[in-house]
Structure 1
Amino acid sequence: MKKIRINQNITLILLVFILSFTFTPLHAFGEKIEDPYGERQYLFEKMESLFGIPWYYLAAIDQYERSIAKVRKDIPVKEGLIAIYIPPSKWTGFLNPNPNDVEPKSIQFFNGMGLDGNGDGLADPKNDLDVLFTMTQYLSSYGFKEEDIRIALWEYYKREKTVEQISQFAKIYQKFDTIFLTKQSFPISKGLQYSYRSTWGDARGWGGRRMHEGTDIFASYGTPVKSVCYGYVEVMGWNIYGGWRVGIRGLDNIYYYYAHLAGFEKSMRIGDIVEPGQIIGYVGSSGYGKPGTQGKFPPHLHFGMYIDNGRTEWAFDPYPYLRKWERQRK
């Protein structure tokens, strides 16, 4: 990790930062948060104007941290606007004898990341502005191009999959120009014939004994299948078990898996950004064999959900979520 030093240029930026908040009463820090999405995006955009780091990358890092904190016991869930968690070893410095150090000079002495972003003389890892200022300065120390940011993320997280996920989130935010992307959708349109029940954990025998990791939604051949979320198309193609399948990474860091399709939406490609309700493919009965195998079971959509916690990924039961999305559209 590059050593962060506070020089005259950073001090000047800090003063501009403080003044910009002082003269922006509608978004002054410390006020009651009426619009958390709007306030959060305002902070990201403010940092972009000061450092040149695209706001959507800051939003993507924050969202990634927010998602893993929900499923990790070693990461505290933060109460403020910003969810980014910088561990004490990084914030104060690995050799710092005081893991709770908030003095900028001693943190700098021990090569810690922590900076004072709100001008109160403290580098507080619980303060939204201090944390966001620190992360933005860290990224800018590597440069401002996408490749520079990816290198910075690799050096910070030491995990290629995390770098990819954050980059995907950034592309989603960039396309829609907002972080207020909470809508979700049932994968089959209202008014079409379909049926499903909880099939999580049911035994499956083809290809070896295993458990069923998903919910089967039975429908007629060719029934359109829709994306349930705003997301990034990670995978398209043939799988020996799932047949023609699509894998989409949502902003909740859940990998949504759509399998046994008859085919894909013609215009869709890996790397595309999709939104809730967008058609991604069509119900079929593909799978359980070499590419093109069809008809070994009735036509249906196999729908799976896999959560990533920054270390590993595992499947969980999608049935309660499908029921919720189905109720919400009524």
Structure 2
Amino acid sequence: MRFIHLIIACSLCMPFAPLYGGERAEAAAMISEPATKQTSKGSSLTRERMELFQWMEALYGVPWHYLAAIDQYERTINKKRKSAPVTDRLTAITIPPAVWSGYLNPEEDDTDESSISFFGGIGIDGSGDGQADQQNDIDVLTAMIRFLSDFGYAREDFRIGVWMYYRRDRAVKTIDQFAAVYEKYQTLQLDQHAFPIPRRYTYSYRSTWGDPRGWGGRRIHEGTDIFADYGTPVLATGYGVVEVVGWNRYGGWRVGIRDMNNIYHYFAHLSSFRKGLKAGDIVEPGQVIGYVGSSGYGKPGTSGKFPPHLHYGMYRDTGSGEWSFDPYPQLRSWEREMRRKKK
């Protein structure tokens, strides 16, 4: 609530001004840093973060869901960056010291905006406290907005700006997907999940991650097999974007969905897909995406080489690569929650 009061107060006295045009907006210099101490948890911090993004949108014109998408991407990757510990932060965006201060700047933690500019850094004093602080949410967001504004805020322009910052195609795709989901649902609270098989259907499973597999060469099983009858509906397990719909010689007819935690969910051996499902679709937990089958292990259309089941895999993006991990604990957790809700 304190942040809402700050927004109201500032909106009454601060006209909008662009980041460029001779000098920075005087409005930015009048900003008092919002209260960011973690005096509350969960939904309260999420609400404050949302208010911050919407405030920056009102001030600078950048769509709030762009900032939220970048912040969420930073939250989900394992960063190996040399920076001061983040304590009183609402956001997770961490600009590398060399980028912030300038690659040739001898002071990686430089807070002097003039010297940062001299060395080509992007750091800026957005809060108006006289320091360009890498641990100040307002300063960091203002610096990121200033960088992106060079390219524009249309969707394709934004994608170019993100690529110029991260230099990684996967980052561009994921951030673009996050932005689309946030824009659709108009909230940051998208962490709900669902078990992939509806409760009213018969199914069974156990932990099979890491078991040996032989077809197509020696490899390990990167998922959990959930056995169910042909035609059993398969549900999206979280909010996300469909990345892949089609055939894979190992997984047969399969669907790949990236969720809002930057985890890729792999649904394989399907008999068919939900009608009209395609790459780029936004899905939510509990939404039907396909139906259990026994497809795979051969050319398109191959089926029946094993009993019908859903192969469910999870892969985490670390910022430099993608690795599988055991989905069994998550499945058990979602199953318990499903049963609890039905009581």
Q: Same fold (TM over 0.5)?
A: yes
The RMSD of aligned alpha carbons is 1.7
CA distance, structure 1, for counterparts of residue 123 and residue 79 of structure 2: 23
Q: Which residue of 2 aligns with 1:211?
A: 220
**Which residue pairs with 1:279 in the alignment?**
288
- Say which SS state the counterpart of residue 84 (structure 1) adopts: coil
Quote how far apart the aligned CAs of 1:75 are: 6.8
The one-letter code sitting in structure 1 at the alignment partner of 2:297 is: Y
Query: Aligned letter for 1:11?
Result: A
The yes-or-no answer on 1:262 pairing with 2:262 is: no
CA distance in 2, matches of 1:305, 1:90: 33
Are 1:315 and 2:324 counterparts?
yes
1:10 positional shift: 2.1
Instruction: Give, in angstroms, the shift of residue 6 of structure 1.
Output: 6.9
In the alignment, the residues of structure 1 paired with residue 36 and residue 72 of structure 2 have an alpha-carbon distance, to the nearest angstrom, of 21
Structure 2 gaps, min length 5: 1-18
8 Å contact from structure 1 (residues 53, 144) kept in 2: yes
Residue 233 (1) aligns with residue 239 (2): no
Counterpart contact for 1:240–1:288, Cα < 8 Å: yes
Q: Structure 1 residues 75, 105: CA separation in 2 closer, same or farther (over 3 Å shift)?
A: closer
Contact 1:306–1:314 (8 Å) recurs in 2 = yes
Shift of 1:243: 0.2
Residues 59 and 170 of structure 1 are in contact (CA less than 8 Å); yes or no, is this contact kept in structure 2? Answer: yes
SS of equivalent residue, structure 1 residue 10 = coil
The answer to whether the aligner puts 1:133 opposite 2:142 as a matched pair is yes
Residue of structure 2 equivalent to 1:177: 186
Taking structure 1 as the reference length, what is the TM-score of the superposition? Answer: 0.91
1:22-41 aligned at under 5 Å gives the runs: 28-30=34-36, 33-34=39-40, 35-41=44-50
- After superposition, residues 21-60 of structure 1 pair within 5 angstroms as 28-30=34-36, 33-34=39-40, 35-60=44-69
Match of 2:28 in 1: 14
1:284, distance to aligned residue in structure 2 (A): 0.4
Count of residue pairs brought into register by the alignment: 316
Partner of 2:233: 224
Q: Structure 1: which amino acid aligns with 2:298?
A: G
Match of 1:299 among 298, 308, 311: 308
Residues 81 and 96, structure 2, Cα contact 8 Å, conserved in 1: no
Q: Aligned partners of 1:265, 1:144: CA distance in 2, in Å?
A: 34
Q: Cα deviations across residues 246-288 of structure 1 (Å, max 9, x unaligned)? A: 0001111110000000110103211000001111000000000
- Does 1:253 pair with 2:262? yes
Q: Give CA deviations for 1:12-71 in whole Å, capped at 9, x if unaligned.
A: 35246x2xx68xxxxx43465541111111111111112211111110000000000xx3
Is the Cα–Cα contact under 8 Å of residues 244 and 287 in structure 1 kept in the other structure? yes
Residues 110-121 of structure 1: matches in 2 within 5 Å? 110-121=119-130
Q: Which runs of 5+ in 1 are unaligned?
A: 23-27
Deviation, 1:78, is 3.5
Identical pairs, percent: 57
- Cα–Cα, structure 1 residues 95 and 245, in superposed 2: closer, same or farther, change >3 Å? same
| CA–CA separation in structure 2 for the residues paired with 1:153 and 1:94 | 19
